[in-house]
Amino acid sequence: MTNTWPLARGTVSEREAFALATTVLFVLFAGDAVPNMFTWYGAAAVWALTGAWGIAVLVRARPPIARTPRALWLLLAWFLVSTAWSHWRAATLASIAAQLICVLVAFAIASTLTWRRILDAVSVALRWVLLGSVLFEAVVAVVVRHPIAPIWTHYGDRHVPDAFYFSRAVLFTGGRIQGLPGNANLLAMVALLAAIAVAVQLAEGRMRRNRAIGWLVVAAAVFVLTRSSTVVAAAAACAVVLVLALLVRRVPTERRTPRYLAMAVVGVVVVVVGVAFRAPLSELLGKGSDATGRGEIWARVVELAQQHPVLGWGWIGYWWPSVHTLSDIAHRKGVTYLQAHDAYLDVWMQTGIIGLALFLVYVLTTLSRSWASATRIGYDADLEPRAFEPVTLFALLVVTALLVQSIAESRLLYQGNWVLFAILAIKSRNVLVSDEPPSIGDGPRTPRTRREFRWAADSTR
């Protein structure tokens, strides 16, 4: 079997492509830190410059578009078509423009970096967010010693909900820290994704053991300090998927059907039990029987969706505060939440059943390719099966985490989650990890097995 890897056809240095990926992911996963520190005008400038850099790389790289996920382009096309009946047409056009730019930047990154360099970029960017969050919270708790708001706001003497603060100075008082993203749940997801990336790098021999353990401790500490039940569920799902992928990989392809059937039966049982006992499970996770108000939000979103069930109200992505039809839906403890807290309900309400079907195709095909990459046995040029490569698990674990979070948050539809998921979707459609020669663009790597020592020796001749 000949390994093929349709790289970009133009000239873009690996160093620049890696810098772009790291910068984009850091800026997006830092979340509210950008507008909170630089105002919304400054944030718009940062995002615009980052997007322009990504488009410039894409234009110079000229990657082939043939092997990119059609489901993604069909979904974007349907978002655009929804402009025809949108109840907030200006917001629809602006949101689509922003999402298209994000997809093009993701296309540039996926087309110019190998899987391992994408892994490295994700690791570096998210570790920076983690480190910056810990340092930020420490300075606020030790030096400032009181909650701080975004620098461009002035609340005066009026009562300010906790969610409005950039940091609540609770690092040493037992509260949930928010870090640079300005939200405990989002920071917890950064910790989980960073832990996945670092663990895979450690297994790959791309990070020294002591350094990796140190970062895993930081991620675990942030994970504990954020106490996000949604991300606890995501971490549990990742652990289960990891075990299942490793078990399936041990069995030849032609003998995997019984295991898949057993997994399907167990999955159905878990779903049934979860639905039947959702109230006590939610209480156990500290969310209350209503998932901390999400049940009420979901009910109102469903009411809206049922008014235009086939075509939806028109795409908007993140709800604009000026669109009162949406901003009047979710109020809790003085805070107006501008999302459905469920990506699938959000897509249904905005783009109807047709849009939801396209979104599900996009999500499920990406998950399917990630699973195939994690469980498929790769071969070298001599048709010899390769030794297990931990990097093949990276996309599957990240996709799993993002999809579990998408049940309780709509972040999969915009910002960092949207771009990271698009990178994995495009890259997995372009080439599976198990088909990518490990020597392309990755630099030296420490072999871990005798087979890998032989492969490394042969490849240098």
Is 317 exposed, middle or buried, given 0-12, 13-18 or 19+ CB atoms closer than 10 A? buried
Query: Are the C-beta atoms of 195 and 204 separated by less than 8 Å?
Result: no
Report residue 203 as tokens. 């297994």
Report d(CA 156, CA 158) in Å as an integer: 6
pLDDT tens digits for range 22-68: 999 999 999 889 998 888 899 999 999 999 999 999 999 999 888 88
Residue 56 sits at the vertex; the CA angle it makes with 114 and 410, to the nearest 5 degrees, is 70
Q: Considering the chain, what is the average pLDDT of its residues? A: 84
To the nearest whole percent, how much of the chain has pLDDT over 70?
Answer: 83
To the nearest whole percent, how much of the chain has pLDDT over 90?
Answer: 56
Ramachandran area for residue 145 (φ above 0: left; ψ -120 to 50: alpha; else beta): left
Largest interatomic CA distance in the chain: 73
- Side chain identity, residue 257: T
Which has the closest alpha carbon to 239: 423, 396, 433?
396
Report d(CA 344, CA 222) in Å as an integer: 28
Q: Which residues are within 8 A (CB) of 248 and not within 5 positions of it... i.e. 6 or more apart? A: 256, 259, 260, 375
pLDDT tens digits for range 178-228: 999 989 999 999 999 999 999 999 999 999 999 999 999 999 999 999 999
3-class DSSP state of 171: coil
Report residue 145 as tokens. 């010693």
Residue 395 has pLDDT above 60, yes or no: yes
Which has the closest alpha carbon to 108: 25, 183, 223, 35?
25
Q: What are phi and psi of 120, to 5 degrees?
A: -65, -40
Report d(CA 179, CA 383) in Å as an integer: 49
Show the beta-strand stretches assigned E in 136-293: none
Global pTM reads: 0.88
Mean pLDDT is lowest, of 27-41, 80-94, 281-295, for 281-295
Q: What are phi and psi of 56, to 5 degrees?
A: -60, -40
- Specify the DSSP class assigned to residue 88: S
Report d(CA 155, CA 164) in Å as an integer: 10
Query: Are the C-beta atoms of 260 and 299 separated by less than 8 Å?
Result: no
Report residue 382 as tokens. 């001599």
pLDDT tens digits for range 311-342: 999 999 988 888 888 877 777 766 778 888 99
